[in-house]
Structure 1
Amino acid sequence: MLDADQGQPLGLDGQGLSIGIVRARFNDAITSTLEKACMDELLALGVAEEDIRLVTVPGALEVPLALKAMASGDDHFDALVALGCIIRGETYHFELVSNESGAGVTRVALDHQIPIANAILTVENEDQAWVRAEPKGRDAARVAVEMANLLDELL
């Protein structure tokens, strides 16, 4: 939904929302940058620090399972965020990890009807990852808050 006067998305008020974040530790320096940018933006949008739960997993393939546990657990989350970084190597493994982690994230979102901001970077090299880390971390926070508010309105 857009503000008719400004063309800006509505629903970027994070007050009262509970957000879960799953961060892959593989490529830790990059994913830590994603995490910091995401956390800073969530706080700037009004999400209370005590309403943010962060868990870490070894790599991108483990992110969907942790998201599923958060989505189906006793804690209530209005939205989830997936953070990770997959850098192309010389083998097919890049495609496998990229495709399967992305499909897993989407499946959890649809199965549990919970918004998940997917900020698992899939890049050709480390330089591309560094360029994207901070802006994509902030974007993930905004997507999570906007979609949580939208689903609250729609359901």
Structure 2
Amino acid sequence: MFGADKGKADRLDGKDLVIGIVQARFNQDVTNTLAQACREELLAHGVAEKDIEHVLVPGALEVPVALQAMAEKGGYDALVALGCIIRGETYHFELVANESAAGVTRVALDYQLPIANAILTTEDMAQAVARQVDKGRDAAQVAIEMANLLEDIG
């Protein structure tokens, strides 16, 4: 079984990994905190600052196309999607949440490239704020672990 013989510390070794981050600006207070937590966690696990490329897009629906452009460019071991969608009074929440998630997944599968999806989908701002740091850290760990797993498999 791939990765079964490795300890968690080995799976979270970010040394020599190149990670791309796509951050939606909508609900920027939350997404900035997500990004900061993600970057700090990447650095803490050995990813070099020079090996982190961070781009901003308007909102969650634009995240997949930026991820796709990065995947096509190549050179990344993993990507991270960051955003925050908060339920409103209309169906728009479901549309944005579903379509952004589907786009992120499609890019990951089409390019066989790990993408940690940390586009928060919450009922209100309080839920988003409660999750912003942990989900940013989680995204970094997922990106590193999956990059290492795919390297082992490949």
Q: TM-score w.r.t. structure 2 length?
A: 0.95
Match of 1:130 in 2: 129
Are residues 1:17 and 2:25 paired?
no
Q: CA deviation at 1:23?
A: 0.1
Match of 2:153 in 1: 154
Match of 1:77 in 2: 76
Aligned residue identity for 2:28 = D
Identity %: 66
Deviations 1:68-100 (A, max 9, x none): 000001x40000000000000000000000000
Aligned residue identity for 2:102 = A
Aligned residue identity for 1:133 = Q
Q: CA deviation at 1:9?
A: 6.8
Aligned residue identity for 2:83 = G
CA–CA separation in structure 2 for the residues paired with 1:10 and 1:91 = 45
Q: CA deviation at 1:3?
A: 6.1
**Secondary structure at 1:130's aligned position in 2?**
helix
Match of 1:94 in 2: 93
Stretches of 4+ aligned residues off by more than 2 angstroms? 1-4
Match of 2:29 in 1: 29
Match of 1:56 in 2: 56
**Secondary structure at 2:14's aligned position in 1?**
coil
Deviations 1:18-55 (A, max 9, x none): 00000000000000000000000000000000000000
How many residues get paired?
152
Q: Which runs of 5+ in 2 are unaligned?
A: none
Q: Which runs of 5+ in 1 are unaligned?
A: none
Match of 2:67 in 1: 67
CA–CA separation in structure 2 for the residues paired with 1:33 and 1:149 = 26
Q: CA deviation at 1:67?
A: 0.0
Q: CA deviation at 1:118?
A: 0.1
**Secondary structure at 1:23's aligned position in 2?**
strand
Distance 1:9 1:110, change over 3 A: farther
Q: TM-score w.r.t. structure 1 length?
A: 0.95
Q: CA deviation at 1:10?
A: 4.2
CA–CA separation in structure 1 for the residues paired with 2:15 and 2:114 = 17
